[in-house]
Structures are given as structure tokens and as C-alpha cells.
């Protein structure tokens, strides 16, 4: 490990990246109580060029967290409130006839920005969900045979209430697979709840006004390119493949993870290593981000689901069973 550190120090300079990540953490901590792992995963997803799905009961700060992350970055931001009557054209845009030019012009929808907050995404029907497939995977919109590219950096932060709640739709598997992470946000504990109430009581300004921008588009893209240079040994690539393969053969799972999940695990582990100051991935990096990468990509068999077994439990069991490379 000592030799790795020597090589790491001379190979990639991650000090600026770490300093920027630290500033983002500090800015969000002005408003968000606790949730350190959540913030780390959001920054990891940003650097790995991935989208994030935040799930939790109403009132656990899903929306404000997404808005605060966008505020801490000097980038364009749009919010789309998903509702049962939301149409694909409301998201993507539509062609409008220009009387002066006597031709149709494409009027871009709110999906054209850098960070998109897709609020309560599971309240929109399948037709609108399908409109996001191309955007999330290819960072482009095809309309009337024309392709419109989205400006980098590009990230969708979607929030959803638990699917058992009234008026929600289960997201299609093809869409879930396009999210790098699914992060579950739990209720705060007693100390955190007291801190939340105390802060609210002493609030003198808007929560968004408390956060300042600390990272611009150019720097984000520089850091994203830097992540690509993080080293992953061949035995760790095999380790990732074995974890994914285990999800496909596990008797508790009806649907295993796809090759897109393998790539997601690779990208996320590289970004996670970088924000922790290393230019090389360790098995611990892979284990740390395996649950948020995989929990929405696998489906429990109906029998096991009735027994109360969760995807998180199965993924953790798989991580215990796959031999860690030396």
C-alpha cells in the first residue's frame, strides 16, 4: 500500500478535486443535518457522470437536497414537477410553427439544462417516463428527425416517494437501470431531529441563500476527465464481474444486474476513490457503493419478498460471499 501511495502522489494530483468536494460538503452542511453518506454519493455521481434517484417518505429533504447541490455548483438548473397529466412534450420540448419564417422551430423543454430536478418522478405515467430514456443514456433529444445534444455537465436528480404510496407508478426497469445510484433517505434520529427544529427556529434567511456556488462547469468537466485516469487493477475488474454474475445466479433474485450495472460499479468506484484522495480503486470502494448501484437494478423473487427480504440484504450477502481480491 505504501508503494501505491508513492506512485499515486506522482501520478495524479487530486488535491484540487478534494478541496472542491470538501467545499460542497461544507456548503450543504449549512442546511442539511447529517446525511454525510448521501452528500458523498451525490458528489460521486456528479463526477462519474451519473444520474441519481432519491427515495424516501415525504418531508425527509429529498427535494431541498437536490436544489442545494445544484446551488453549490455554478451551473444551469431546472426543476420539473412530475404529475399524472405531464406529457413528453412538457419535458422534452415541442415544434412550433414560426409564421415569420414559415417553418417549424423546436422550442426546447426544461430537460435542457445542466442539473435537472425531476421531482416526484414516479407520479408521471409510463409514456412520460419513456421520454427520458434517450436523454438519460445518450444525453440527447431526437425530435422530428433532428438530434439536439444536451450541454455537459449533465445530471438528473430524481426524487420519488415509496411506490406503495397512493398515486405513484413503479418506474420501468429500463429507466431504473439508467440511474447510477438509488439512495434511500431515512428519517433522522432524535439528535438530528432536534438539530433540524433548532435550525429552523433560528432561520433568518432562505435556505438556498445560505449556500454559495463553489464549482463551475469547466472545473466539473476537468474533474470528470480526471476520474477516467483512476487506476483499476485487473483483479478488481474481475471482482466487479463476479459480483454482477452472482446477482444473475442468486436464487433469491428474479432479475439480476445488467452489463450497464458492471460499468456503473466501475465508474462509481473510480469517482469514490478519487474523492477519498486515491488514484487507485480498492475492494472497499467497490463494496461501499455496491448497494446504491445495484439495489434498484435487481428484483427479489415474490416468495422472498413476502418473507420481508430486501434487495439490500441480498446484495450484502453477495458481497460477503464473493472472495475479495488480495
- Cβ neighbourhood burial of 282 (10 Å; 0-12, 13-18, 19+): buried
Greater confidence, 26 or 293?
A: 293
Question: CA dist 276 to 41, 68, 219, 322, Å?
Answer: 12, 22, 18, 24
Average pLDDT of the residues in 245-249: 94
Overall average pLDDT of the 99-112 stretch: 84
Question: Class assignment of domain 31-200?
Answer: alpha beta
The C-alpha cell that represents 195 in the structure block: 438539530
Q: Tens digits of per-residue pLDDT, 114-131?
A: 999 999 998 888 888 888
Taking the domains of the chain in order of start, what are their residue ranges?
1-21+231-326, 31-200
pTM: 0.87
Residue 68: per-residue pLDDT: 87
Could you give the CA distance from residue 87 to residue 92 in angstroms, rounded to a whole number?
9
Backbone φ and ψ of 145, nearest 5° = 80, -5
Q: What pLDDT shows up at residue 8?
A: 43
What is the per-residue pLDDT for 81? 92
Architecture per CATH, 1-21+231-326: Orthogonal Bundle (1.10)
- What's the pLDDT band for 3 if we cut at 50, 70, 90? very low
3 state SS of 79: strand
Amino acid at each position: 500500500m505504501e508503494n501505491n501511495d508513492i506512485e499515486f502522489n506522482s501520478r495524479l494530483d487530486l488535491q484540487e478535486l478534494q478541496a472542491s468536494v470538501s467545499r460542497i460538503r461544507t456548503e450543504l452542511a449549512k442546511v442539511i443535518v447529517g446525511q454525510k453518506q448521501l452528500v458523498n454519493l451525490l458528489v460521486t455521481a456528479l463526477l462519474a457522470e451519473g444520474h441519481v434517484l432519491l427515495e424516501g417518505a415525504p418531508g425527509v429533504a429529498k427535494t431541498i437536497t437536490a436544489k442545494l447541490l445544484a446551488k453549490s455548483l455554478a451551473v444551469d438548473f431546472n426543476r420539473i414537477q412530475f404529475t399524472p397529466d405531464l406529457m413528453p412534450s412538457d419535458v422534452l420540448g415541442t415544434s412550433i410553427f414560426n409564421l415569420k419564417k414559415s417553418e417549424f422551430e423546436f422550442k426546447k423543454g426544461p430537460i435542457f439544462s445542466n442539473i435537472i430536478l425531476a421531482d416526484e418522478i414516479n407520479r408521471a405515467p409510463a409514456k412520460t417516463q419513456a421520454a427520458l430514456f434517450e436523454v438519460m443514456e445518450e444525453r440527447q433529444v431526437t425530435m422530428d428527425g433532428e438530434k439536439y445534444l444536451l450541454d455537459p455537465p449533465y445530471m438528473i436528480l430524481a426524487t420519488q416517494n415509496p411506490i406503495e404510496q397512493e398515486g405513484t407508478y413503479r418506474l420501468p426497469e429500463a429507466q431504473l437501470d439508467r440511474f447510477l445510484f438509488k439512495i434511500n433517505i431515512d428519517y433522522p434520529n432524535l439528535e438530528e431531529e432536534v438539530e433540524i427544529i433548532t435550525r429552523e427556529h433560528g432561520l433568518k434567511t432562505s435556505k438556498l441563500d445560505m449556500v454559495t456556488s463553489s464549482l463551475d462547469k469547466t472545473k466539473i468537466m476537468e474533474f470528470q476527465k480526471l476520474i477516467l485516469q483512476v487506476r483499476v487493477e485487473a483483479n478488481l475488474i474481475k471482482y466487479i464481474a463476479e459480483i454482477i454474475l452472482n446477482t444473475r445466479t442468486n436464487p433469491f433474485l428474479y432479475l439480476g444486474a445488467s452489463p450497464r450495472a458492471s460499468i456503473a460499479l466501475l465508474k462509481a468506484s473510480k469517482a469514490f476513490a478519487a474523492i477519498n484522495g486515491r488514484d487507485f480503486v480498492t475492494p472497499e470502494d467497490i463494496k461501499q457503493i455496491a448497494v446504491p448501484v445495484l439495489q434498484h437494478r435487481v428484483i427479489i423473487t415474490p416468495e422472498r419478498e413476502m418473507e420481508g427480504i430486501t434487495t439490500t440484504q441480498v446484495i450484502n450477502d453477495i458481497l460477503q460471499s464473493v472472495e475479495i481480491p488480495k
